[in-house]
């Protein structure tokens, strides 16, 4: 059985937040509304499930009383049928409510910074990094998200040695966080004349984009260098010092950006990436303090530390974090941006794991 007191506390908090948002001094304060709005929206979904669950419990009790007290045989028979129907509904309602009660990460609603880097495999790895970029670009289009290139370094034969993206939209980080890890590809490279299948890899890191209020960066902690942008082969693509490199002195983190022709715009983009990396670093320290598994680890780009394999000869994508029928997907669909089935399967697996952990603690 669910904890009745805990359910009532959730309903009480929902009403409290609703009342707060209706106050004029709060309704006209953007900062408070930005904090309370998402909380109320999340609580509203849970409260709706609580109400449905409680209504089913009340109906069950009423039908039980009717079965015990009614004298009309036909009425008793009808009540028994309805009671059986409610009894069958309750386990599913309870399951849905338990899933809704699983705590969500606070940063799931954030926008994201996505970093794709070529790993093992040379030119073929850079080409694969380019394929991953196009996959995520197509997926973002289907979701109605906005993708912005923050910085990139092109491969000598195409693709990218590295590309950093800013992705904005509803629930971006909570969705794309499952993409963090090493992605392995098995296929015949375009440059391979003998037709042999090669294995290459690219790493993907997804960071929650931080706001100024999330990370406090002092100006004296920064070392900012400017230089001329360069393209493939090192040739200059800009005659002014528009590229920016920012070093965060306390941590040694370095971020560069040269995608824009404006030094000011490059600095803004570099600061967004730096802020998000520092935010992720702080979140990681909290996770380690709670002895949680580090979900954001992307390894070194080595072929052995993989989360997913893209097998072109067999037209199959395999996600190694999943099991059974949820493990394999048509490669052509996935590369066309139809990533949602994998995301949903990973989300369900994570929820089931968290739910099992909570039930063990209870």
What percentage of the chain's residues is helix, strand, coil (to nearest 5)? 50, 20, 25
Domains 4-101 and 109-213+293-355 share a fold: no
Rounded to the nearest integer, the mean pLDDT of the chain is 86
CATH number of 219-287: 3.30.160.20
Task: List, in sequence order, every beta strand (DSSP E) within 155-266.
Answer: 160-168, 181-187, 198-208, 222-227, 243-248, 253-257
Residue 163 has pLDDT above 80, yes or no: yes
CA proximity to 167, closest of 105, 104, 115: 115
The region, left, alpha or beta by phi > 0 then psi within -120 to 50, assigned to residue 158 is: left
Give 289: exposed, middle or buried? Use CB within 10 Å, 0-12, 13-18, 19+.
Answer: exposed
pLDDT of residue 34: 80
Instruction: Evaluate if residue 138 carries a pLDDT over 80.
Output: yes
- 169 to 6, 80, 108, 141: CA distances (angstroms): 32, 49, 11, 11
CA–CA dist 145, 170 (Å, integer): 8
| Residue 247: C-alpha distances to residues 152, 189, 211, 254, 261 (Å) | 18, 37, 19, 4, 21
CB atoms within 10 A of CB 165: 21
- The class (CATH top level) of 4-101 is mainly alpha
- Quote the CA–CA distance of 345 and 326 in Å, as a whole number: 7
Write the class of the CATH domain 109-213+293-355.
alpha beta
> What pLDDT band is residue 200 in, cutting at 50, 70 and 90?
very high
- Burial environment of residue 229 by CB neighbours within 10 A (0 to 12, 13 to 18, 19 or more): buried
Domain ranges of the chain: 4-101, 109-213+293-355, 219-287
Q: Is the pLDDT of residue 193 over 70?
A: no
Q: Which two tokens stand for residue 281?
A: 């670093």
Q: How confident is the model at residue 102 (pLDDT cuts 50, 70, 90)?
A: confident
115 sits in which H/E element: strand 112-118
What's the confidence (pLDDT) of residue 349? 86
């Amino acid at each position: 059985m669910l904890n009745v007191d805990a359910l009532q506390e959730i309903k009480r908090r929902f009403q409290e937040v609703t009342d707060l948002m209706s106050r004029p001094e709060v309704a006209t304060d953007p900062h408070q509304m930005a904090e309370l709005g998402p909380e109320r929206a999340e609580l509203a979904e849970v409260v709706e499930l609580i109400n449905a669950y409680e209504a089913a419990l009340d109906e069950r009790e009423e039908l039980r009383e009717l079965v015990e007290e009614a004298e009309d045989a036909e009425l008793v028979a009808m009540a028994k049928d309805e009671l059986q129907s409610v009894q069958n509904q309750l386990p599913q309602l309870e399951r849905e409510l338990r899933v809704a009660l699983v705590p969500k990460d606070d940063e799931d609603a954030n926008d994201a910074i996505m970093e794709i880097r070529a790993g093992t495999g040379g030119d073929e790895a850079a080409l694969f990094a380019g394929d991953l970029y196009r996959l995520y670009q197509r997926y973002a289009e289907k979701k109605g998200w906005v993708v912005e290139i923050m910085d990139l370094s092109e491969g000598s034969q195409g693709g990218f040695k590295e590309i950093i993206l800013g992705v904005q939209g509803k629930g971006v980080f909570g969705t794309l966080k499952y993409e963090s890890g090493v992605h392995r590809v098995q296929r015949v490279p375009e440059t391979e004349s003998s037709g042999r299948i090669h294995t290459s890899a690219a790493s993907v890191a997804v960071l929650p984009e931080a706001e100024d209020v999330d990370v406090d960066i002092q100006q004296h902690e920064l070392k900012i260098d400017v230089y001329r942008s360069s393209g493939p082969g090192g040739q200059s693509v800009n005659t002014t010092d528009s590229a920016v490199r920012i070093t965060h002195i306390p941590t040694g983190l370095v971020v560069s950006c040269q995608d824009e022709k404006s030094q000011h715009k490059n600095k803004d983009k570099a600061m967004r990436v730096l802020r998000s990396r520092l935010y992720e670093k702080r979140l990681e320290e909290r996770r380690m303090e709670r002895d949680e598994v580090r979900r954001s680890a992307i390894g070194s780009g080595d072929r052995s530390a993989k989360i997913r394999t893209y097998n072109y000869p067999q037209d199959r994508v395999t996600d190694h974090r999943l099991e059974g029928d949820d493990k394999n997907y048509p490669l052509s669909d996935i590369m066309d941006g139809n990533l949602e089935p994998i995301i949903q399967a990973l989300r369900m697996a994570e929820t089931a794991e968290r739910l099992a952990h909570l039930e063990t603690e209870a």
